[in-house]
Structure 1
Amino acid sequence: MSIWDFITDLLNPDLAFLPKALAIAVMSSVVCGVVGCYVVLRGMAFIGDAVAHAVFPGIAVAFVLQGSLVLGGAIAGIATALLIAVFSQNRRVKEDSLIGVFLVAAFALGIVIISQAPGYAGSLQQFLFGSITGIPDRDLYLVGGVGLVILGLVLALHKEFVAVCLDREMSRSMGLSVFWLDIVLYVLVTLAVVISLQTIGNILVLALLITPAAAARLLTDRLGVMMLLAPMIGGVSAIVGLYLSWSYDTPVGGTIVLVATAVFLTVWLFAPHHGLLTKRWRRPGGQQLTDNRPDRRPRWQRA
């Protein structure tokens, strides 16, 4: 399918679900890209995985009660994030252990709840792997509103989040409330995960949170630039992934993740300063160095 054909399908009123899916995919990718920068810097990818599973019982309850899946998932995810933040204050049990406990318990609870609904097998597959055909208009507006709230809180608390990510003890000595900042960050991760579920699914949503931010981390050492690159990478991956999925009839969530992963691998190899092949090319004895003047030599060769 050509790009023009894809655009024509987007404008086709009989395929109204397609532009809604594109809008939600792009919005959730942008939000996940921004929030994912803190997740990558802090090394808390496991928390993102736990939250992705923790929202499942809330989604299951909302499905059984015919309510909003986004709202149900948000309530369950936030509750689990609060429990992790509270229990992790006791340093006798490490945070990753607590995450593992609540991750499995929440996911198991969701499976038990949704098994009580008729025809749950198909619904379970939709929750786990995403679906682009059943997105109601109310969820489109809800995702947009929640995304704006997340970006607003990130903008307001950016300095505090960076301080906590870099040095928690120093943040405490500066008078910052690390506990409450942890809770807010967990909640933001939860909301970013929830608004991405319907397009990409529960299993794959962690990739949308981590992969674009990890790719951006390889491209720059500046956090501000990283937080611009990550949502761009996520948004482009969503657009290209949806186009390929629609063209070749592949699962949309998996296709988006594969596109994002391809971008990450390309950056990992060819990033200007941190790419594997780039660093090998710049080593002593390589062909890059043609000017021996001190001011023209690479930093690693300067006195």
Structure 2
Amino acid sequence: MAETLLMPFQFPFMQNAFLIALIVSVPTALLSCFLVLKGWALMGDAVSHAVLPGIVLAYVLGWPLIVGAFAAGMLTAVATGYLSDNSRVKQDTVMGVVFSGMFGLGIVIFVAIRTNVHLDHILFGNMLGVGPQDLWTAGSIGLVVSVALLLKWRDLMLHAFDPIQARAAGLRVGVLHYGLLTILSLTIVATLSATGLILAVGLLIAPGAIAFLLVRSFGHMLVVAVAACMVGMLGGVYLSFFLDSAPAPTIVLILTAIFLVAFVRRQVLTRRVSATA
């Protein structure tokens, strides 16, 4: 029994999968807390889809995929902000139009060119095929993102809760806004080889939503989000070995299950308090 349970740790490709799961879980979990508080769930979905044309063009031009993904993500974020600020259309509507257009453009370009890269690896990740270069890329980006969020978490928290108060307090709201968008684009690039574009939004939203249901302090929320994301990612990689399933969707399913458990727990506690009152 022990041999069977420890079997996933004996293979190098599984060891790399566990390692990138640990690396990616920290920055995505920290960022998810700010996205949940700010109501940017759709923004994370939009940017994760919109980087596809940048990845395809970078491949055609022979550039690193990370450059194309980051450029497309920033272009989408800036274009969304500009259009929502200079039109009567609401931001969620603008994001829906922009990200669907960018994603459609990426699909058209990908189909139009001949490439050896399989689209499934871009859309859904290739965690079992992670190499040293992917680990170094994810680790470098994850370190930069995590340090930036931890150093500026109080300013970003105030900006997420009340941008007007943040401006009155003397904070540079524009820098915080586009800085958070930059961090979002970088984080999506870091998760590219792990979960791909489609399922990246699961890592960007679920950990923060779980922590939001479990705790009432933002500092504790950051810790709980990281813990929940690590459990979901490591558990998903581990179970996928025995279920013969892809790691990325298994991870998202586990995070969804944890969210449902947290939701039921919150409902039970709320009813108990109401009954006592």
Q: 1:207 to 1:3 in 2, by over 3 A?
A: farther
Counterpart of 1:231? 226
CA contact (8 A) 2:70 2:186 kept: yes
Which shows bigger deviation, 66-75 or 136-145?
Answer: 66-75
Q: State the shift of 1:35 in Å.
A: 0.3
CA contact (8 A) 1:25 1:196 kept: no
| Alignment pair present for 1:152 and 2:147 | yes
CA contact (8 A) 1:85 1:183 kept: no
Q: 1:128 to 1:95 in 2, by over 3 A?
A: same
Counterpart of 2:269? 278
1:116 and 1:4 mapped to 2: Cα distance? 48
Counterpart of 2:29? 33
Map 1:251-270; keep pairs closer than 5 Å. 251-270=246-265
Counterpart of 2:100? 104
1:44 and 1:3 mapped to 2: Cα distance? 43
Map 1:140-219; keep pairs closer than 5 Å. 140-219=135-214
Aligned partner letter, 1:26: L
CA contact (8 A) 2:134 2:193 kept: no
Counterpart of 1:51? 47
Which secondary structure state, in structure 1, belongs to the residue aligned with residue 128 of structure 2?
coil
Which shows bigger deviation, 146-155 or 96-105?
Answer: 96-105
* Residue-by-residue CA offset, 1:245-274 (whole Å, 9 max, x unaligned): 11111121110000011111111112xxxx
Identity %: 34
Using the size of structure 2 for normalisation, the TM-score is: 0.92
Structure 1 residue corresponding to 2:18, chosen from 19, 22, 28: 22
Would you tell me which structure has more helix in proportion to its own residues? 2
Which secondary structure state, in structure 2, belongs to the residue aligned with residue 133 of structure 1?
helix
Counterpart of 1:74? 70
Counterpart of 1:10? 9
Which secondary structure state, in structure 2, belongs to the residue aligned with residue 88 of structure 1?
helix
Structure 2: unaligned runs, 5 residues or longer: none
Q: 1:22 to 1:70 in 2, by over 3 A?
A: farther
Which secondary structure state, in structure 2, belongs to the residue aligned with residue 154 of structure 1?
helix
1:160 and 1:3 mapped to 2: Cα distance? 48
After the TM superposition, list the runs of 4 or more consecutive aligned residues in structure 1 that deviate by more than 4 angstroms.
none
Structure 1: unaligned runs, 5 residues or longer: 285-297
Which shows bigger deviation, 173-182 or 251-260?
Answer: 173-182
Q: State the shift of 1:185 in Å.
A: 0.5
Which shows bigger deviation, 153-162 or 93-102?
Answer: 93-102
Aligned partner letter, 1:10: F
Q: 1:180 to 1:123 in 2, by over 3 A?
A: same
Q: State the shift of 1:234 in Å.
A: 0.5
Counterpart of 2:82? 86
* Residue-by-residue CA offset, 1:210-237 (whole Å, 9 max, x unaligned): 1111010011110000001101100110
| Alignment pair present for 1:138 and 2:118 | no
Using the size of structure 1 for normalisation, the TM-score is: 0.84
1:160 and 1:85 mapped to 2: Cα distance? 20
- Count matched residues: 277
Counterpart of 1:64? 60
Aligned partner letter, 1:157: K
CA contact (8 A) 2:41 2:205 kept: yes
Which secondary structure state, in structure 1, belongs to the residue aligned with residue 35 of structure 2?
helix
Q: What value does the CA root-mean-square deviation take over the aligned residues?
A: 2.0
Q: State the shift of 1:98 in Å.
A: 2.1
Q: State the shift of 1:17 in Å.
A: 2.4
2:173 and 2:5 mapped to 1: Cα distance? 47
1:128 and 1:3 mapped to 2: Cα distance? 35
